[in-house]
Amino acid sequence: MYGGYPVGVVDVTATSPELTTAQIAVWRERIRTTTFANYHLHMGIALALRSESGAAQALQRACESDPGCVEAAVALAELTGDTSCLPAGVGMRQLGLLRLADIEAKAGRWERAGAYIDAMLAVPLPIELACYAEEFVACTEILEVGRRIDVLVISRAIVALLDAASFEPDLETSIRIGHLFFRHHAYDEAAACYRRYERRAPGNLDIRFRLGFHHMINLELAEAEQAFIGYTARLPDDRFPVALRVLTVLADARAVDAAGLVAEEEARQKLDSSLWACRGLAFQHLGDLAGALAAYEKAAEIAPSLEEYRRMVDREQMAFLGAPGQGGLLALGLLALGRLPEAKAKVDGALRQLPESGFDWLVNALLLLELSAEQQAREAMKAFQAGSPNALLLPLFLRLLPMGADRLRALLPTA
């Protein structure tokens, strides 16, 4: 194939880099006697693959033979860098820009890919492009890797296109759009995509888990708990949803129940770092400060590596669970026991290692208040709120804190 040229649009055997000179000669003879665009298209791609002259001329003839041929125009634009050849039909220029962005992104040329996307989105996407939703999503997923574009802008444009066209893409595409929103902390929009999916194919476990998370951060705690119960009933060995269920129960001011759930997992010999951390929080809510610190220390002992933790955060966006060393939670336990210098050292170390951990910034602010450094505490809260998705998680985090939540609320700017 040439660049990102779609498989199946042309005869791939005719566009192989291994084309012999004789085969190309046959194609040259055939296109002398026809204006059929595909002949010129095949010829142009074959010549481009072999870096031979005449590729641009052949692709130009393909565009002239069929002015609506997006494939030929994209191949020519890729070869020459000139997008003026893209078709002018409704949406066809934007489709061509999308495919050029896809080609550039696959080659790691993120700036050029982003420029094509900007041009594509300069005007609203016409409803005629709704049937290309999967292409839009696939390209966005590649562009997401380069982190040079606003994924939410493209994702919202895709949803607006589908809504305007009253078009339902295939189920896989629907769920992938939801995941784009979820990964970028637009949880309400993710949930809307997931619910659209659920109406057509209920029972997907991944969707159930993510909707449970959405309920959790919105403090719809009964709904969240039921979602996590349903998930773990079918996949009982997945520890993270169990931990989220425990945290949901804790946020619902049911510390005794939360401790009981952890005890059940301990009886099954299923405690991991996250569940030990949950045990510490439950014990601290119940006033067992020594037991809480011991649980936090155990969580730190078996915590995942930084690399493993970052993979977990990419999945769940919960930066206070399973953190390497569990520095923030250890600091919380030490703070409750009045061991302020040790606590401050722990949380400072945690934030150096993982500055995006929102929960640790809250613990840091609380410690600074204890040390009578109110202005620094306010700065810590600003740092917390600057991190995405911390502002969305703040109501949940404040419920999970076993101490000092009201003092932290007082640091927040008033509307």
- pLDDT score of 346: 92
Q: If you write DSSP's letter for every residue of 213-233 in order, what string do you get?
A: HHHHHTT-HHHHHHHHHHHHH
Q: 124: cis peptide before it, omega within 30°? A: no
Integer angstrom CA distances of residue 70 from 66, 83, 237: 9, 11, 49
The answer to whether the beta carbons of residues 227 and 209 sit under 8 Å apart is yes
- pLDDT score of 279: 96
- pLDDT score of 314: 55
- pLDDT score of 320: 46
Residue 180, number of CB atoms within 10 A of its CB: 23
- pLDDT score of 2: 43
Residue 222, number of CB atoms within 10 A of its CB: 10
DSSP 8-class letter at 303 = P
Nearest to 217 by CA among 319, 100, 107: 319
The answer to whether the beta carbons of residues 220 and 212 sit under 8 Å apart is no
Token pair of 330, please?
Answer: 């250890």
| pLDDT tens across the length of the chain (415 residues) | 343 443 333 333 344 445 556 655 655 555 555 555 666 666 666 666 666 667 777 777 776 777 777 887 787 788 788 888 888 878 899 999 999 999 889 888 898 899 999 999 998 999 999 999 999 999 999 988 887 678 999 999 999 999 999 999 998 999 999 999 988 889 999 999 999 888 888 888 888 888 998 999 999 999 999 999 999 998 888 888 899 999 999 999 999 999 999 999 999 988 988 899 999 999 999 999 999 999 999 998 888 777 777 666 555 544 444 454 568 899 999 999 999 999 999 999 988 888 777 888 899 999 999 999 999 999 999 888 887 677 788 999 999 999 999 999 999 876 5
- C-beta pairs of 150-157 under 8 Å, 24+ apart in sequence: 151/180, 151/183, 151/184, 152/180, 152/181, 152/184, 152/186, 153/121, 154/117, 154/121, 155/180, 155/181, 155/184, 155/186, 155/189, 156/189, 157/121, 157/124, 157/125
Length of the chain: 415
- pLDDT score of 306: 74
The answer to whether the beta carbons of residues 46 and 26 sit under 8 Å apart is no
> Could you tell me the domains of the chain?
1-80 (no CATH), 89-201 (1.25.40), 231-415 (1.25.40.10)
